[in-house]
Amino acid sequence: MTIRIFSLLLLVVSILVVPKCFSSNTPNNNVELSLTPLACFVKTIGDVCHLTIKVNWQSLTPINACLYQDFKKIHCWSDTKKAAKKIKVSLSENMVFSLQDGNDKIYTQQHVAIAASTSKKYRRRLRADWSLF
């Protein structure tokens, strides 16, 4: 009997909580985000790219929103339906820019890619000296 009540409780909790969990990370289609450019060219992979990114977003209803570069908050708007801003950013790898509310809910996101103008890549040496050394 106790197990049956527990299972029922678990089911109710699942129905109520799980969709909420998913929704917090699922981009909201009511908000549109546009970034330009969507790629940054560097000489070689690993170089830092400094660029001014044009941010445009709009929402059907006024919202409080912050733009994040990966996990770093870079600009916020409050009670706004539409915004446009130029922001200077630096990145050395492919990056996700997301528009979020104050509670980690992601409205929408965009990827900005890093591309190298030369194809040369580098990796860490693993230091296999001659066995005698």
Q: How far is the CB of 119 from another protein (least distance, A)?
A: 9
Q: Is 47 in the site for another protein (CB under 8 A)?
A: yes
| 88, 52 contact by CB (below 8 A) | yes
Q: Is 86 in the site for another protein (CB under 8 A)?
A: no
Q: How far is the CB of 33 from another protein (least distance, A)?
A: 26
Range 99-128, binding another protein (CB under 8 A): 120-128
Q: Which amino acid is at 111?
A: H
Q: How far is the CB of 109 from another protein (least distance, A)?
A: 21
Residues contacting another protein: total by CB under 8 A? 20
- C-alpha distances (whole Å) from 42 to each of 34, 51, 71, 118, 121 are 22, 11, 23, 8, 12
- Select 88 or 121, whichever has its Cβ closest to another protein: 121
